[in-house]
Structure 1
């Protein structure tokens, strides 16, 4: 146990020391994995690292990753954001909170298209902030709804971070996608309810509600949004219905996105190349992190750290709820300094054995973890969505963090709800089995 404690101490010091020095996450994982194998095991470090890098770089599940990223890049460069504002504003203009609900619903739609929190937040923010400012909506609510709803890019499928978790935890990506649907819809409902109540309490500081729009005009306004929404429903529906694997559905999604972009006259050779290169850069970055995380995982396994820690935690006699509380606090602290993919690959080799030992379903835990990482996206000092909104609004980080805090609390409320009612996550995946 003493040697395991020493190895764990060295692991923590090396990881945080290298990350603090500004070295890439992927390089940090590789260096730490090599050091652990070299100094704490008698295993042949060179051949094991080389074979692990190779084996972890060609998994079939990973092929859906660049395709979903590319689909999001194509639609991101189309006229979708402008169409979305026109299509949604006539439906929510009369609700308490008015056009602030466009931020929530728009982020929900964009989340299903891009699979990225940052892209969701930036795209909707660039479109809605000038319009909401012009109409006199309170700045705090504008920023807060964007900060909170931007995190939906992690929870609503197809989510890039769910693919990473699925590959890392060896869980069905399709089950994770479907498991995120009901929590995602519930979160949208919580955000809209808070926005409406907060707007009522603010009273005179809110602008007058929009004029009543005829139902026929609402349908006409929504028509421009239907093709993109239809594509997402088809992609996710084909996975849910068992007609396609995530990779096959992603390939169809790319073809559909190219067709919609071409029909909308937004597809040019320049935008096509730009979308491909952006998808390649993002995919390579994530894939390299996954491959090097596998090297660290195998090094940690050789040191026997996961089993020792799992036995230690099991010996404490913690209930599953207490264990989840401890892990949630750890993830939120890490989220103050690291982005979501890094958190998953850094903690999975140690955390997942503990969770399995406690008898917690790994698909459910994946959604639990994603919601925690969503909350971490809007916590200072390194909440990524805060920096995105700083660029969009020009406000300082503390102002943005204060506006986002109520939505951070709503994310914690969602965690409590899915813990009390786990079938919100597991019900739909169980139907697929």
Structure 2
């Protein structure tokens, strides 16, 4: 009972500090300080200094700012326009036609971005005006974009996979490999939904456009070649074992600078803006990670993770029931916190439970990413919903409603990777660290 009261006290303290407007990273560190001071004999000051320094000086973490910078550079190029020109001619004969450019565009950009919000904003900047001008209904256009934007978290390189890998001490290269097939699975499910919607609503889909013959389509797709080469360079170097995730991130930054220079969009202003944008985002993430590392240490000294794991173990839940409970827990948590905060805040408690249940940490990482994807399109703190609200001017509840079918598809994806775990585990078993 004392453990329950202690947990309730710490959770209440965390939400009270967050409600006061304090940054998430500082709130996490503050709760850890309170917990260690009141409920542990270990001095909080030196523990905080050592933990924050250790979490901030991780070599693995260096991949994060580089991938963030790569995404920021490409965000300021003509990549989105090139993608639309390259993809649109091939979509004319598929039911739903140009609606698929939302999903395929997000899939491609996710492979060079790593951020859900950046993927949604960049592809939306290109597809929304084009699809609206051609008469596609707002509901399916915005709903499919909201769902497809979450692929920025799943298709490697993914920022949230790096955060999970650092927090759970899991190979980032294997996590990247594990995300490939589930990411393609989610994209496939969304395209299947769009096809079904188009077949049920044929009158709402504008007629096909004349795009010429096969060679005309091939020539239009030439604009995709640079970004495809960049994806091959980044991910191929990881999967073949030539480079670590950090070294591949450096390759990605160099490639994105070359690509933007070749497009004529690299100048002093865009270079500075991309560098400052990446710096701001990484500093925010690093502060959250540092606060979460201190909170994890504090909970360890108070014995909460072990006691909570023992309590859940005493319930004798099957792995399926445990995963279902965790999915509900993270969906609810996602209504109030962003994905990175959700992961770093809970890893200290959840990983002992997952390990005790003998769940593969690589598989669990992908499960967690899909659940966080759900949180990206659930109000009130759904980042993709905020991005689309700013771009379209629509009300948040309306955007959440048209995105709800995509939420259900992500639930289906969780069921499929549980029924067929090889979708997650097969490729990582062939990848070198």
TM-score in same-fold range (> 0.5): yes
Deviation at 1:134, TM superposition (A): 1.0
8 Å Cα contact 1:94-1:210 kept in structure 2: no
CA distance in structure 1 between the partners assigned to 2:291 and 2:336 by the alignment = 20
Aligned to 1:175: 174
What are the ranges of 5 or more consecutive residues in structure 2 without an aligned counterpart?
none
Aligned to 2:16: 17
Aligned to 1:74: 73
Equivalent residue runs for 1:21-420 within 5 Å: 21-211=20-210, 213-420=212-419
Per-residue CA distance 1:212-258 (angstroms, 9 max, x = gap): 53111111111111111211122101101101000111111111111
Partner SS, residue 56 of structure 1:
helix
8 Å Cα contact 1:4-1:303 kept in structure 2: no
Deviation at 1:5, TM superposition (A): 2.1
8 Å Cα contact 1:108-1:188 kept in structure 2: yes
What are the ranges of 5 or more consecutive residues in structure 1 without an aligned counterpart?
none
CA RMSD of aligned residues (A): 0.9
CA distance in structure 2 between the partners assigned to 1:427 and 1:17 by the alignment = 44
Per-residue CA distance 1:301-353 (angstroms, 9 max, x = gap): 00010110111111111000000000000000011111000000111111111
TM superposition score normalised by structure 1: 0.98
User: How many aligned residue pairs are there?
Assistant: 432
Per-residue CA distance 1:355-403 (angstroms, 9 max, x = gap): 1100001111000000000011001111111111111111111111111
CA distance in structure 2 between the partners assigned to 1:213 and 1:4 by the alignment = 69
Deviation at 1:93, TM superposition (A): 1.9
Deviation at 1:64, TM superposition (A): 0.5
CA distance in structure 1 between the partners assigned to 2:202 and 2:64 by the alignment = 45
8 Å Cα contact 2:211-2:217 kept in structure 1: no
CA distance in structure 2 between the partners assigned to 1:97 and 1:338 by the alignment = 34
8 Å Cα contact 2:377-2:403 kept in structure 1: yes
Per-residue CA distance 1:93-117 (angstroms, 9 max, x = gap): 2210010000000011111111110
CA distance in structure 1 between the partners assigned to 2:213 and 2:185 by the alignment = 28
Distance change (3 Å), C-alpha of 1:213 and 1:21: farther
8 Å Cα contact 1:337-1:382 kept in structure 2: yes
Deviation at 1:181, TM superposition (A): 0.2
CA distance in structure 1 between the partners assigned to 2:310 and 2:415 by the alignment = 27
TM superposition score normalised by structure 2: 0.98
> Structure 1: which 4+ aligned runs deviate by more than 4 Å?
none
